[in-house]
Amino acid sequence: MTSTVNTDIFPLIGHSISELENLAESFGEEPFRGRQIFDWLYRRQVDHTSDMMDLPESFRKKLRRFTIHPLKTINQDTSSSRQTKKFLFQLSDGEFVESVLMYEADRITVCLSTQVGCAVDCDFCATAKMGFIKNLTVGEIVDQYIHLQKMSDKKITNVVFMGMGEPFLNYRNAIAAADLLHHPKGINLGAWRITISTTGIIPKIYQFTDEKQPYKLAISLNGSTHNQRLKTMPITQKHTLNDLLDSAKNYTMQSKKPVTFEYVLMDGINDDPLDSSRLKNLISSIQCKLNVIPYNEIGGKYKRSKDNKIETFLRSLKDAPFPVTVRWSKGTNIDAGCGQLATSTKTTNEKFG
Ligand code: SAH
């Protein structure tokens, strides 16, 4: 036991039970005091260490130097349908991230970011235009959830890691954040309520499979052939479509769980009837679901497929051996749809400063 305090542990959200036990011990307290802090942070979600009423006063005093939240709420936008809210948070180093809260009947979903910007340069995505700025810490990922839960009048039922960034290029922190969301003594969300979406970082898909991670896996396919996908998702060069499908199949066979394929429909790019039949062939032998996402425009060269094209595309998937869902984003008027999240100090100052 050491009496020196690890100052890296500040702020507190983001730390696991064992880290908090170590923190308590570093103050000469019993490890169970760390478990009490865990309870206050994640289950009761207090904003100040002074509210942690079952800790001895002397210990609470020592904890005063720690803050709770790694993120500061800067702004909130509500979509015209009132079903989607977008939040802007500031990190301690001044960078910004966005998260989205979506209401759909009894299903309350939050979409969390895992990076500021993104290194995967999908040509159609707003976040990609920012370039890669940094990985979020575990605390910066989990704190988005905690803030959103505090601002929501209903309990959050589902979490998707589909905000800014590529979760599998921040693998350890993304998984540790999911572990905290899932922890039965804390936030206690079922593992099947947490979905991690990747552009297809193949070694990480194998790692996720080998580690038997309990969370749902989604893969952004967005093309029906290798060359077509390569045009909008240059990462296909390194991680080929065939290899990606093999890794997805391996996941489903090892985990005995389906994978979700996401397919963003873009006008004249991947929305031809030929695409839907090729797509059907590509994924029919994999235990999967297909989530079709009509493209949310970001003012660039890509456009949303025309309604009749979307309908034809979906109709031709009617006999597919896998379930098909459509994600009509409800927050596009506040740029909260899939792939519309982007922050920069400049635009933020213009909008909110
Ligand atoms: N990097 C991860 C998670 C973030 S993107 C991934 O790519 O999976 C979440 C989903 O939104 C992905 O399926 C992506 O293909 C899709 N997307 C990106 N830009 C979009 C846009 N402008 N409109 C609709 N969907 C988009």
Mean pLDDT by 10 residues, the chain (353 residues): 50 96 96 98 97 96 94 91 90 95 94 97 95 97 98 96 98 98 98 98 98 98 98 98 98 98 98 97 98 93 95 95 89 76 53 28
DSSP three-state, residue 3: coil
Query: What pLDDT is recorded for position 2?
Result: 41
DSSP, residue by residue, 94-116:
S-EEEEEEEEETTEEEEE---EE
Residue 7: partners with Cβ closer than 8 Å, 6 or more residues away: none
Pocket test for ligand 1, best of 125, 202, 297 (most atoms within 8 A of CB): 125
Ligand 1 touching residue 162 (CB < 6 A): yes
pTM: 0.93
Q: Which two tokens stand for residue 229?
A: 């996908």
**Contact present, 67 and 48 (Cβ < 8 Å):** no
* Beta bridge partner(s), residue 111: 100, 160
Ligand 1 touching residue 296 (CB < 6 A): yes
Tell me the catalytic residues.
Answer: 98, 338
Closest residue by Cα to residue 142 from 184, 185, 112: 112
- Rounded CA-CA distance 138/143 in Å is 8
Ligand 1, atom 18, residue with closest C-alpha: 339
Q: Which letter, b or e, does each residue of 77-114 get, where b requires 16 or more Cβ atoms within 10 Å of its Cβ?
A: bebeeeebbbbbbbbeeebbbbbbbbbeeeebbbbbbb
State in Å: Cα 80 to ligand 1 middle: 22
**Contact present, 204 and 168 (Cβ < 8 Å):** yes
State in Å: Cα 144 to ligand 1 middle: 19
**Contact present, 287 and 216 (Cβ < 8 Å):** no
Closest residue by Cα to residue 99 from 315, 320, 340, 298: 340
Ligand 1, atom 7, residue with closest C-alpha: 199
Q: Which two tokens stand for residue 186?
A: 């804390």
Which regions of the chain does DSSP assign to beta strands (E)? 72-78, 84-90, 96-104, 107-111, 115-117, 132-135, 158-161, 194-198, 216-220, 259-265, 288-294, 324-326
Ligand 1, atom 15, residue with closest C-alpha: 220
C-alpha distances (whole Å) from 287 to each of 179, 250, 322 are 25, 10, 7
State in Å: Cα 40 to ligand 1 middle: 34
Q: Report the half-sphere exposure of 158 (CA within 13 A, side-chain side).
A: 16
- Rounded CA-CA distance 341/144 in Å is 14
- Rounded CA-CA distance 122/129 in Å is 9
Ligand 1 touching residue 176 (CB < 6 A): no
State in Å: Cα 68 to ligand 1 middle: 31
- Rounded CA-CA distance 109/54 in Å is 32
Ligand 1, atom 24, residue with closest C-alpha: 295
- Rounded CA-CA distance 166/238 in Å is 15
Q: How far apart are the first and last CA of the chain?
A: 46
**Contact present, 140 and 97 (Cβ < 8 Å):** yes
